[in-house]
Structure 1
Amino acid sequence: MKTTSLLSLLHISSPALPIGAFAYSQGLEYTLDAGWCKTAKDVEQWIESVLRFGLAGVDLPILQRLHQAWQTNDQEAVQHWNDMLLAFRETKELYLEDVQVGAAFKQWHLAQLSESESLKQADDIEAKLEWLEKPSVVAMYALHGVLTDIPVEECLIGFCWAWLENQIAAASKAMPMGQTDGQRIMRRLIPVIDEVVAHAMTLPDEEVGSGLVGLAMSSSLHEHQYSRLFRS
C-alpha cells in the first residue's frame, strides 16, 4: 500500500471519525445488562461469534462487492448490494443504526469535497453519493476505499478493526471491564480477523447471509431496556 492509502485507512477506521458509530452497542449493552455475558472472557466469545457468523457472512462480503462496484462505476450493483445489506438487518435498531450512521458518513464525504484535486473530481464524487437514498455504513466505507486507493482486502481488515474497537469500547463502558482486558481481547482476536476476511473474500453470492438469533434478540430487547448508555 502507498503511505497515503495506509494513512487514509487508519483515518477512516478511527473511532474518532465524526459519524456517530461510537453511540451504538449493537445489542451488546443488553447482553451485559441481562447477564448473558458476565466476564471479559464471555465478552470475547460474544464478539468472536459475531465476527465469525455475522460480519464474515454479510458485512465483509458485501463490502468486497461494493468496493468493486464503486471501482467500476456500476450504479446498479452499488444500489443492489447496499439494499441487500440493509435487508439483512434483523431489527429496527440495527437498521436505523446503519442508515443513521451511513447518512452521517455521507455528509462526511460531502465535507471532504472541497479538498478534491479538481472540480470535475468533486462533481463526480457528489454524483456518486446521490446514487443511494439510504447509504449504509459499508457502502460509504467502500467508497472511501476506492477514492483513496485502498485495496479491497485492506478495506475489509480496517472495517473489522473499527467495528471491534467500538465493541470493546461499548463493553468497557457498560460493565466493569478495564482497558487492559479490552486490549487483551483485541490482541487475541487479530488472528480471527485474518480468518474471517479470508473467508469473506471467497464467499459466493448465494452464500451471503447470517443467522445470529442471540444478536437479534439482544438488539430487539435493547430497544426497550429501561436505562441505556447507547442509542436505540
Structure 2
Amino acid sequence: DEPACALFERIEEPGVALGWALAARAWAISPADALTAWLWGWLENQLAVLMKTLPLGQQAAQRLTSELLPTLEQAQRTASEIAPEHWGSAPFGLALTSMAHERQYSRLFRS
C-alpha cells in the first residue's frame, strides 16, 4: 500500500526486519503471526548453526526446538508488550561482530 511504500522509500538502508514487516503487511499477516514467524525463523537459523558447529543431529535439534517453544512464546509476548518508543535494534553491535568474523580461529562458514 501507499504508506508502506513511502516508508520503505524514506529509509536509506532498510534492514531485513523492516522488509519482513512490510511483506507481512502486504500479505495481510497479522502482527502477532508475523512476529511468530520471525522468531521461528530466528530459532531455526540458530539451531542450524548449532548442528554445523556441534555434534548435534537433526533429531536432537528437533527435540531442542520443541523444548524451546515455550521460551519462544514468552519472547513473543514480551516483545508485543514493549511500547513503540522503546523499540530499537542492534545494527551497531551486529556490525562489530561481523567485522570480527574474519579473524575467528576456525571459519566454518565461509562467506
When normalised by structure 2's length, the TM-score is 0.77
Q: Out of 73, 76, 79, which is 2:3 matched to?
A: 73
Structure 1's 155 and 72: CA in aligned 2 closer, same or farther, altered over 3 A?
farther
- Name the residue aligned to 1:156: 35
Q: Out of 52, 57, 60, which is 1:178 matched to?
A: 57
**1:152 & 1:181 partners in 2: Cα distance?**
31
Structure 2 counterpart of 1:174, which letter? T
- Name the residue aligned to 2:16: 137
**2:8 & 2:108 partners in 1: Cα distance?**
32
Query: Is the counterpart of residue 201 in structure 1 residue 83 in structure 2?
Result: no
Query: Is the counterpart of residue 230 in structure 1 residue 109 in structure 2?
Result: yes
Q: CA RMSD in A?
A: 2.9
Structure 2 counterpart of 1:73, which letter? P
**1:173 & 1:143 partners in 2: Cα distance?**
32
Structure 1's 178 and 201: CA in aligned 2 closer, same or farther, altered over 3 A?
same
| Percentage identity across paired residues of the two chains | 36
**1:206 & 1:128 partners in 2: Cα distance?**
18
**2:62 & 2:105 partners in 1: Cα distance?**
30
Aligned residues: 106
Residue 33 of structure 2: SS of its match in structure 1?
Answer: helix
Residue 3 of structure 2: SS of its match in structure 1?
Answer: coil
Task: Tell me the alpha carbon deviations over residues 56-101 of structure 1, each in whole angstroms, 9 at most, x when there is no partner.
Answer: xxxxxxxxxxxxxxx7827xxxxxxxxxxxxxxxxxxxxxxxxxxx
Deviation at residue 224 of structure 1 after TM alignment:
1.2
Structure 1's 194 and 169: CA in aligned 2 closer, same or farther, altered over 3 A?
same
Structure 2 counterpart of 1:179, which letter? Q
**1:140 & 1:170 partners in 2: Cα distance?**
23
Deviation at residue 194 of structure 1 after TM alignment:
1.1
Structure 2 counterpart of 1:135, which letter? P
Q: List runs of 5+ in structure 1 lacking aligned partners.
A: 1-70, 75-124
Deviation at residue 193 of structure 1 after TM alignment:
1.4
Structure 1's 210 and 227: CA in aligned 2 closer, same or farther, altered over 3 A?
same
Query: Is the counterpart of residue 146 in structure 1 residue 76 in structure 2?
Result: no
**1:128 & 1:204 partners in 2: Cα distance?**
20
Structure having greater relative contact order (Cα 8 Å, sep ≥ 6): 1
Within-5 A mapping of 1:29-178: 73=3, 125=5, 129-178=8-57
- Name the residue aligned to 1:189: 68
**1:143 & 1:173 partners in 2: Cα distance?**
32
